[in-house]
Structure 1
Amino acid sequence: YSDRYIGLIKTISGRPYSGKVIVNVQKDSSKNHLIIGNSIKIQTVLQQNKPSKNPNQFDYSRYLANKQIYAQVYCQKKEILVNKAIQKDIWYYCAKLHSRIISNLEKSNFNQAEMNVALALILGQQQEISQDIIQDYQYSGATHVLSVSGLHVGFIMLFITFVLKPIPNTKKGSFFKLACILISLAGFAVISGLSPSVLRSVVMFSFLAIGNHLRRNGNIYHTLLVSILLILLFEPYFLFDVGFQLSYIALFFILWLQPILKDIYNPKNKLTVYIWEALTVSFAAQIGTLPLCLYYFHQFPGLFFVTNIIILPVLSFIMIAGIVVMIIAIFTSPPLFIIIIFEKSIYLLNLMIHAVASVDSFVIQNISFNLYHLWAFSFFIIATTVWIKKPSFNKLLFVFVSIITIQLAFIFTKIETENEGELIVYNEKNNTLISERLGRNLLLFTRDTLRENNRNINSYLVGNSISLPTTKEIKNVLYFKKNKILIIDSTKTYSEKIKPDILILTQTSKVNLDRLLQILHPKIVIADGSNSNSIQKYWKNSCLKKNIPFHSTKEKGYYRL
């Protein structure tokens, strides 16, 4: 519904301020003339990022805080005053280049669905890709393909190295090769809009290229560490970026574990060699990143190795063809025959990804995996790899200790789960949903029949290692740990004799709250997501008059007792 930008604040009410906000400009029928580098003036309110509205869900406010963005503003195009002076820095020229490429591609009659994937593959712009295609890439274990990162930059580096192979490895020839690689990587970073993931990968591979030029192959891990240090020196918050963590862990395990896996089998046929190398690279990266992937995403694509084997040849061609198409698009509309070839290759890639993703039984979802499991499994993978590389008795002891650590992680999780007791009022838009948990047993109270896959409940079950709940129709009175809870809905049914500790208002109940508070004297009033915003304002004022806490799940998120 909005065009979204990151805005750098200069002044508020004439006073100098600094910081980053997200600027949401509402879409309408008119064209948006804003460009990167514009200075704008708007009369609006800074709205603080709100935490997740239900337990164990993705916390968008925390995600933005890790990018040092703490607020958002919302406005319409007509409310914006644009300064004629444009700040022409590297971001402005990158954005201009981007716009020119997209404009020339649109003139070439590029099919929209395939063009959106092409823009994600080469320029890192994912916002226009349909949800179905994104889901296919997730289920097939190929999400990394849509995020311009190490894989894409690695392809470019390999391609440039292959093109420059005829140049002799003399002192001058080697330096010329290095210069070409660094210029090509920097050029790709500019074409793809200098996004953090691309900058990260370009710095990483530039250091690898420099290390290779200096013939320091033995110190490749040092090169990797120096690139991490350099990036974190300028952007310390990247340390909390999931993409940053996965990129470096995947590359480290490819360098560290892949040679061991490769030596297990020595095929002689060229095709078998290619398949085996693709398999070992894929397995090394997947083994290394497995604990983090389970911790963040709680799912595992069982056919990731099949995906990587079948898509690598097509993806190699797409990357090379894509770079050629994008370079041509900088100057003019690419020729029709190149567009058709590029378009069909992306169509083939999407088809292959969809075929793998459609095998639902191999996508393991809703895996409970907490911080204990993350550290325990990471320790086990590292200890096992160290032992396999150079076996010894002491290293084997570490492997056994890591296995015991995994068992302890499960034991601690079980103890924590069984000792937990809580009641939660969820923020559901058109339904009332309350869960009562004692240990591993979860009882759900709901006004309407609960949908089979309620996202809020699934997140809670997975996050707390709980089995499927028992569902009951909601009652007007609940008891939880000596707390009496009264629930009033649109029927306004309640007994004046009940003196509840907690009063829950649902379904936009048209009660006289001032009178109700005088009779019942609750310690707190809760309004769930099934109530309208307008009536909640009246309720909030009524509670303020009586000095009773008011909790709106729409405003503050779920209520936990």
Structure 2
Amino acid sequence: LRSAIMFTCIVVGNNMARQSNVLNSLAVSAFILLCYNPFWLWDAGFQLSYAAIIGIVIFMKPIYQLMNFQNRLVDMIWQMNAVTISAQLLTLAICIYQFHQFPNYFLISNIIAVPLSSLILLLEIFLCAISFLPSLFSFMASLTALLIRLMNACVERIEQLPFSVWNGLQISFVQAILLAASLVLFLSCLLYREHIRALLYTGLIAMTTFVSLRCLSFIQAGRQQMLIVYQRSADLIRGRAYSSIYGAEADDVFPASARSLFRLRKSGQSLFIHSGNYYSFLAKKIILIDRKTGYSPTDHPQEIDLVILSQKAVANSNEFLQAMNIRQVVADASVPAYMVRQWQMGCEAAGVPFHDVRAKGAFVMKF
């Protein structure tokens, strides 16, 4: 739908009597789409589509003119690269902000994908025109399917190369705006050479601010100390390192996102002291109660900072709360609802704060 409306607006604009600007046609198509669904403005696909097209329309020609080649084949390859670079530069901030990664081999993959995808598109249009000829249609459909498999195989092969993707990139919304602004200002130097000094200085200010905020965020990440309880797992975090204390991460999709957000890497050594279901982390005392781990209140210190409930926690809530001085109880999303209610009622009676991950989201304790 997005491509069809975008293409229709551009064609209608080009066929009008008066001179048309492609950017105006793109603006009209975006307005129509947002009238249909205003929430598409926050859709990553919508943002990437328009950023890529705008980048190609504005910056492809100036980038292409930076280098001239006499060889026709080399010139065609450079032209494709100019298209790719112009689209990639304007979508860079969105890619990093939304997906926290960057494809390092985008130039190589697009040299294969761009011509093949263009040919596939033409063949699919041709298939619509020959649908009444079964024999020819069958042959062309098989050829189109072969080209699609070839393109996918090439892209997947490039993805498997070492360092094909730069993962774990994390920027804030403000940093994304500054990065996009600096790139646009630097690229605008190719268009408005008479204002190159002002554009260059402004771009440098935006880039310097971006780098400064990045450095500040890394300093803050290096000082962080916290515990996070997800739906079915938990992490202890110190600086940019983390250690998991329990959980099946395959069943919990949130740890990977949180670790990317907090710029974490798995610690080479344990960050906590562990004995049975008792954990000590930065002088905080933590007890994990699940269906596998038995407990006896006399086995643990009388002062407990945090109790984590997971799965079918076998402990009797009243007995446990009476035997120890507990500051916080957290039930992850794997605890049955009836058991959550039992513990919640016991905590309310004892005056102990209770956090239900299923109802309130992840629990974060900062130290």
Closer/same/farther in 2, CA of residues 467 and 216 from structure 1, 3 Å limit: farther
Equivalent pairs, count: 356
Looking at structure 1, the residues matched to 74 and 133 of structure 2 have their Cα atoms a distance apart, in angstroms, of: 42
Conserved? CA contact 2:304–2:325, under 8 Å: yes
The residue that corresponds to 1:492 in the other structure is: 295
Corresponding residue to 2:95 among 260, 278, 293 = 293
Q: How do 1:370-389 residues align onto structure 2 when only pairs under 5 Å count?
A: 370-389=172-191
Cα distance in 2, alignment partners of residues 362 and 487 from structure 1 = 40
Could you say which residue in structure 1 is the equivalent of 2:143? 341
**Residue 234 of structure 2: aligned partner:** 433
One-letter amino acid matched to 1:492: Y
In structure 1, the partner of 2:259 is: 461
AA matched with 1:464: F
Measure the CA separation in 1 of the matches of 2:243 and 2:224. 16
Structure 2 contact 302–325 (Cα < 8 Å) conserved: no
Quote the residue 1:412 is aligned against: 216
Separation (CA, whole Å) in 2 of partners of 1:497 and 1:229: 63
**Could you tell me which amino acid in structure 2 is paired with residue 524 of structure 1?**
Q
In structure 1, distance between residues paired with 2:246 and 2:40: 44
Equivalent residues of 2:249, 2:255 under 8 A apart:
no
- Please say which of residues 479-488 and 293-302 is displaced more in the overlay: 479-488
Decide whether aligned partners of structure 1 residues 500 and 473 sit closer, same or farther in structure 2, where only a CA change above 3 A counts.
closer
Compute the displacement of 1:425 (Å).
1.8
1:479 to 1:290, Cα distance in 2 relative to 1, 3 A: same
* CA shift for structure 1 position 481: 8.1
1:275 is paired with a residue of what secondary structure?
helix
Q: Is the 8 A contact 1:447 1:473 kept in 2?
A: no
Matched, 1:236 2:38: yes
Identity %: 25
Q: In 2, Cα distance between the equivalents of 1:236 and 1:335?
A: 40
1:444 is matched with which residue?
Answer: 243
Q: Name the residue aligned to 1:539.
A: 343
Structure ranking higher in helix proportion: 2
Separation of aligned partners in 2, 1:481 and 1:370: 29
- Which residue of structure 1 aligns with residue 319 of structure 2? 515
Please give the alpha-carbon distance, in whole angstroms, between the structure 1 residues aligned to 2:128 and 2:230: 48
When residues 318 and 395 of structure 1 are mapped into structure 2, their CA distance, relative to the original with a 3 A threshold, is closer
Q: State which of 350, 354, 366 in structure 2 corresponds to 1:550.
A: 354
SS of the equivalent of 1:224 reads: helix
Task: Please give the residue correspondences for 1:313-392 in structure 2 after superposition, counting only pairs within 5 Å.
Answer: 313-325=115-127, 335-391=137-193, 392=196
Which is further off, 416-425 or 372-381?
416-425
Alignment partners' CA distance in 2, 1:532 and 1:410: 42
Q: CA deviation at 1:255?
A: 0.9
Q: What is the one-letter code of the residue matched to 2:205?
A: V
How far apart are residue 457 of structure 1 and its match?
4.4
**Counterpart contact for 1:372–1:413, Cα < 8 Å:** no
> 1:303, 1:362 within 8 Å by CA — same for their partners in 2?
yes
Structure 1 residue 516: deviation in Å? 1.9
Q: Which residue of 2 aligns with 1:181?
A: none
User: Does the CA contact (< 8 Å) of 1:528 and 1:553 recur in 2?
Assistant: yes
Within a 5 Å distance, the mapping from 1:31-180 to structure 2 comes to none
* In structure 1, distance between residues paired with 2:353 and 2:114: 58
User: Deviation at 1:373?
Assistant: 2.6
Kept in 2: contact 1:376–1:409 (CA 8 A): no
Say if 1:536 and 1:552, in contact at 8 Å, map to a contact too.
Answer: yes
Q: C-alpha separation between the residues in 2 aligned to 1:372 and 1:494?
A: 49
Residue 9 of structure 2 contacts residue 26 of structure 2 at CA under 8 Å; is this kept in 1?
yes
Distance in 2 (CA, whole Å) between partners of 1:201 and 1:256 is: 19
Distance (whole Å) between structure 1 residues aligned to residue 51 and residue 340 of structure 2: 48
Q: Which letter does structure 2 place at the counterpart of 1:424? A: I
Q: Does 1:267 align with 2:69?
A: yes
- The C-alpha deviation readout for 1:294-326, integer Å capped at 9, x for no partner, is 111111112212222212332223222223445
Quote how far apart the aligned CAs of 1:418 are. Answer: 4.6
The question of 1:281 aligning with 2:83 is answered yes
* Structure 2 residues without counterparts, runs of 5 or longer: none
Give the corresponding residue for 1:139.
none
Distance 2:142 2:18 in 1: 43
Taking the aligned partners of 2:340 and 2:132, their CA distance within structure 1 comes to 54
1:410 alignment partner AA: R
- TM (norm. structure 2) is 0.82
Letter in 2 for 1:345: L
* Alignment match, 2:203: 399
Instruction: Tell me, in whole angstroms, the C-alpha distance in 2 between the residues paired with 1:283 and 1:216.
Output: 32
What is the rounded CA distance, in whole Å, between the counterparts of 1:343 and 1:381 in structure 2? 38
Match of 1:309 in 2: 111
- Secondary structure of the residue that 1:396 maps to in structure 2? helix
